[in-house]
């Protein structure tokens, strides 16, 4: 068996083992919560993804000392006291502004689930602002170092992240029905967070679509029966854990996959985030290419503030703009070279068309001038004949 194949299988097994340990640990945590915090457990069970459950569970343990139900009881009895308790925690919190706000959001969701209202405007205002991240997007040349030697699955994952700007959490939701090709424009329409209030539409490049088709064909050859509800990306066949052999590649799996490949390519100490870096790559490349910021932000699923009130780009406008600037998101050197060649051909064709148009217009002007000249000469001839007649 080739060394690369052995490495991929070994990593996949190791990654699956880690994910199993995470799930078992989370189940143990849930059991302890259920015995002490039944209301919190009911809320956690309502969440759709393990990643969100673990994040919220961590928030309740660190911000509320694991006594979320006691906090709910306090909030029902004395809202002011509950708010002051949170304000004290915010003042003492040592994490980043984004972490503090994430934990507050988790507590707010818990309270709203159980119809407990607090003055969240005041609490959020008191929390630290999001700190400006110092990490940069990965350079195109760096992405190519994991893309070029990668297998079909990795190439699809790379181009999916780079050309759509999605968050890693979206992988917890994706199925095949979420990605639909728009053959007219040569782009893909991607539904993100299907079934959630945060659902939005992203777009993917023609390069990503080609990798997607190759990846699906590979899965068909392996004997997988694909349906609209099949995972958009699945775990390798060699690491089957269920009877049907189909395990979705979720947000934890995809992060593990990229951590491995970044390290393998020599990026142990990266200046960019493992997955979120692709989101920054998407935004940076499109804005540098000239796409309007409001369209970039909308494609990323961001709220655009006042812009959304006065101007919200239509799907038609976003698709048209995306198709125009899509080459900025290509990863493969071959795809970029082909795109540049196509652009040169289009420019040359347009130049020839313009030349032909100018030539036709010039010929029409010449023909017009010749006709005018003929009329003038004819008129002069008539005048000359009349004068000769007068003399005679």
Mind listing the pLDDT tens digit for each residue in 328-367? 999 998 876 676 666 666 667 777 787 888 888 888 889 8
Asked if pLDDT for residue 133 goes beyond 60, the answer is no
Mean pLDDT of 174-202: 94
Q: Which DSSP symbol is given to 138?
A: P
Residue 386 predicted with pLDDT over 90: no
The fraction of the chain above a pLDDT of 90, given in percent, is 53
Mean pLDDT within 47-73: 88
With a cut of 70, say whether residue 4 has pLDDT above it. Answer: no
Cα 263 from Cα 270, distance rounded (Å): 9
Most confident of the following: 12-26, 99-113, 143-157, 341-355: 143-157
Q: 187's torsion region: left (phi>0), alpha (psi -120 to 50) or beta?
A: beta
The rounded distance, in Å, linking the Cα atoms of 273 and 253 is 16
Beta strands in the chain, from DSSP E residues, in sequence order: 179-182, 187-192, 200-204
| Tens digit of each residue's pLDDT (9 = 90 or more) over 267-308 | 988 999 999 999 999 999 999 999 999 999 999 998 665 455
CA atoms within 13 A on the CB side of 143: 29
**Of 101, 104, 226, nearest in space to 175 by CA:** 226
pLDDT at 135: 81
Residue 52's pLDDT band (cuts 50, 70, 90):
confident
Q: Are 166 and 178 in contact (CB under 8 A)?
A: no
Average pLDDT score, the chain: 84
Give which of 173, 153, 154, 172 is closest to 222, Cα–Cα.
Answer: 153
pLDDT of residue 33: 39
**HSE of 290, CA atoms in CB hemisphere, 13 A:** 5
Higher pLDDT, 135 or 35: 135
Question: 22-26, 211-215, 278-282 — which is least confidently predicted?
Answer: 22-26
With b meaning 16 or more CB within 10 Å and e meaning fewer, what string describes 283-316?
bebbbeeebbebbbbbbbbeebeeeeeeeebeee
**Half-sphere exposure for 359 (CA within 13 Å, toward CB):** 6
Q: Which helix (H) or strand (E) holds 17?
A: helix 3-36
Kindly report which listed range (99-108, 181-190, 219-228, 318-327) carries the lowest average pLDDT score. Answer: 99-108
Contacts (Cβ under 8 Å, ≥6 apart) of 199: 191, 192, 193
SS (H, E, C) 23-89: HHHHHHHHHHHHHHCHHHHHHHHHCCCHHHHHHHHHHHHHHCCCCHHHHHHHHHHCHHHHHHHHHHH
Q: Is the pTM of this model over 0.85?
A: no
């Amino acid at each position: 068996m080739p060394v690369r194949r052995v490495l991929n299988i070994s990593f996949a097994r190791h990654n699956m083992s880690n994910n199993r340990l995470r799930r078992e640990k989370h189940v143990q945590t849930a059991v302890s919560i259920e015995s002490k915090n039944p209301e919190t457990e009911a809320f956690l069970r309502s969440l759709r993804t393990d990643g969100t459950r673990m994040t919220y569970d961590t928030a309740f343990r660190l911000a509320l000392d694991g006594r979320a139900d006691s906090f709910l009881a306090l909030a029902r009895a004395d809202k002011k006291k509950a708010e002051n308790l949170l304000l004290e925690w915010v003042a003492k919190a040592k994490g980043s502004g984004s972490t503090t706000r994430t934990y507050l959001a988790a507590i707010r969701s818990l309270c709203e689930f159980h119809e407990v209202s607090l003055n969240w405007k005041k609490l959020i205002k008191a929390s630290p602002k999001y700190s400006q991240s110092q990490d940069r997007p990965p350079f195109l040349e760096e992405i190519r170092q994991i893309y070029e030697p990668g297998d079909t699955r990795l190439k699809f994952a790379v181009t999916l992240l780079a050309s759509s700007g999605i968050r890693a959490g979206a992988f917890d939701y994706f199925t095949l029905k979420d990605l639909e090709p728009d053959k007219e424009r040569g782009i893909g329409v991607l539904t993100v967070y299907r079934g959630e209030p945060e659902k939005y539409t992203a777009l993917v490049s023609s390069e990503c679509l080609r990798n997607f088709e190759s990846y699906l064909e590979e899965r068909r050859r392996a004997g997988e029966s694909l349906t609209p509800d099949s995972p958009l990306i699945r775990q390798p066949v060699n690491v089957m854990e269920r009877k049907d052999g189909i395990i979705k590649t979720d947000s934890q799996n995809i992060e593990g996959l990229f951590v491995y490949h970044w390290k393998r390519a020599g990026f142990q100490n990266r200046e960019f985030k493992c997955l979120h870096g692709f989101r920054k790559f998407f935004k940076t490349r499109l804005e540098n290419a000239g796409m309007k910021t409001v369209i970039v932000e909308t494609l990323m699923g961001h709220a655009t503030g006042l812009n959304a009130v006065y101007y919200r780009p239509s799907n038609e406008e976003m698709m048209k703009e995306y198709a125009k600037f899509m080459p900025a998101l290509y990863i493969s050197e071959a795809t970029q070279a082909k795109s540049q060649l196509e652009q040169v051909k289009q420019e040359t064709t347009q130049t020839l068309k313009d030349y032909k148009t100018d030539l036709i217009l010039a010929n029409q002007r010449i023909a017009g001038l010749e006709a005018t000249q003929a009329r003038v000469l004819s008129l002069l001839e008539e005048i000359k004949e009349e004068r000769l007649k007068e003399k005679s």
